[in-house]
């Protein structure tokens, strides 16, 4: 019997996964674990034939000798938490969920932009303290007529551009692969360099993949080229932003505000309730600093978190597992490819 272990599973995940697992044609023994997979918990996966992971799990090279699995089913579009080189060497098949409700993330990104433009965090905190007065600190700006720069025009980035156009904003975009037909239909202007996005944008929204070229694409040099008071929204990958440079930019008021649903060191602090943990101290000083700024919004990687997205993640994950089981039966040497294998 095939053993499948799902890591980092919350009750809301299990609700969507369990009925679909029951429909698999192959007999399986399934475990749903709240624990995240890492070098300290790898023993929990030692007997699994298939492991399913989420974004806060980590499979590093030194862990593979303790694994017998022949497939890793990622429940995310990203796969940077899995050592693909080692997987290939050991013929471990990897599958991802390339797209799950892009609208969920796109709508969230635009919502964060509006929050920053109208200082809603500060307004909410003041009203909680019964301060219903107006102050210049709450003075915002209209989206209409402003320029938004979008990095990455995949499924999510395109939807973001289209929503911003609905606000009658000027939308510019940078992507190595330009979809010129789509851009013409939606009045989106592709620009040739990142620097042009930095220089022209009132709001910058990040939807690019985390490649070597894009690592810390928002750094001190990039920030210097931006407009004074620029707003930065990141629902893409945490490593796109150099956190130290972002903090410096906010302190100098070069950056007017930032909204982060992802964070480069989120494995340290995300997915924890630090407020209710007894004697718990957040281990990340930079994140503590960011949370203290009134013009910064930090959300816990929740842009995807809708009923529609969770349903799609479960559907595609179990479909990936079913495809693997069928092909592995037909080709035991695993000389096949999976439809949703990572694209690198």
Give me the catalytic one of 301, 308, 330, 343. Answer: 301
CA 146 to chain centre: 26
Give me the catalytic one of 207, 237, 264, 312. Answer: 237
CB 274 within 8 A of CB 247: no
Any catalytic annotation for residue 90? no
Question: Residue 250: how many CB atoms within 10 A of its CB?
Answer: 20
Distance CA 109, CA 106 (A): 5
Pairing of strands 255-260, 230-234: parallel
Residue 234 pairs in a beta bridge with 206, 260
Give me the catalytic one of 75, 121, 266, 312. Answer: 266
Q: String of b and e for 8-41 (b: at least 16 CB within 10 Å)?
A: bbeeebeebbeebbeeeeeebebebbeebbbeee
Kindly list the catalytic residues. 237, 266, 301
């Amino acid at each position: 019997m095939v053993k499948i272990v799902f890591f980092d599973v919350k009750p809301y995940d299990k609700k969507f996964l369990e009925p679909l697992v029951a429909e698999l044609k192959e007999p399986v023994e399934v475990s749903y674990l709240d624990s995240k997979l890492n070098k300290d918990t790898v023993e929990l996966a030692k007997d699994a034939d298939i492991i399913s992971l989420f974004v806060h799990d980590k499979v590093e090279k030194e862990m593979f000798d303790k694994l017998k699995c022949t497939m890793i089913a990622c429940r995310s579009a990203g796969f940077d938490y899995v050592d693909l080189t080692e997987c290939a060497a050991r013929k471990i098949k990897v599958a991802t969920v390339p797209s799950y409700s892009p609208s969920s993330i796109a709508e969230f990104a635009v919502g964060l932009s509006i929050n920053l433009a109208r200082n809603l965090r500060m307004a909410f905190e003041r009203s909680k303290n019964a301060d219903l007065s107006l102050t210049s600190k709450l003075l915002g700006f209209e989206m209409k007529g402003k320029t938004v720069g979008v990095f990455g025009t995949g499924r999510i980035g395109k939807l973001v551009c289209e929503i911003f156009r609905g606000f009658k904003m000027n939308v510019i975009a940078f992507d190595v692969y330009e979809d010129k037909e789509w851009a013409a239909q939606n009045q989106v202007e592709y620009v040739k360099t990142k620097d042009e996005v930095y220089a022209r944008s009132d709001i910058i929204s990040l939807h690019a993949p985390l490649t070597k070229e894009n690592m810390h694409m928002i750094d001190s040099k990039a920030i210097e080229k931006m407009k004074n008071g620029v707003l930065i929204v990141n629902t893409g990958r945490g490593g796109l932003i150099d956190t130290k440079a972002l903090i410096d930019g906010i302190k100098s008021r070069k950056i007017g505000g930032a909204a982060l649903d992802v964070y480069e060191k989120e494995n340290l602090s995300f997915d924890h309730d630090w407020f209710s943990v007894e004697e718990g101290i957040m281990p990340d000083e930079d994140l503590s600093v960011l949370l203290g700024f009134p013009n910064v919004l930090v959300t816990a990687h929740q842009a995807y978190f809708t009923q529609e997205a969770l349903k799609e993640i479960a559907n595609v994950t179990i479909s990936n597992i079913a495809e693997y089981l069928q092909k592995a039966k037909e080709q035991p040497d695993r000389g096949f490819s999976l439809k949703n294998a990572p694209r690198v």
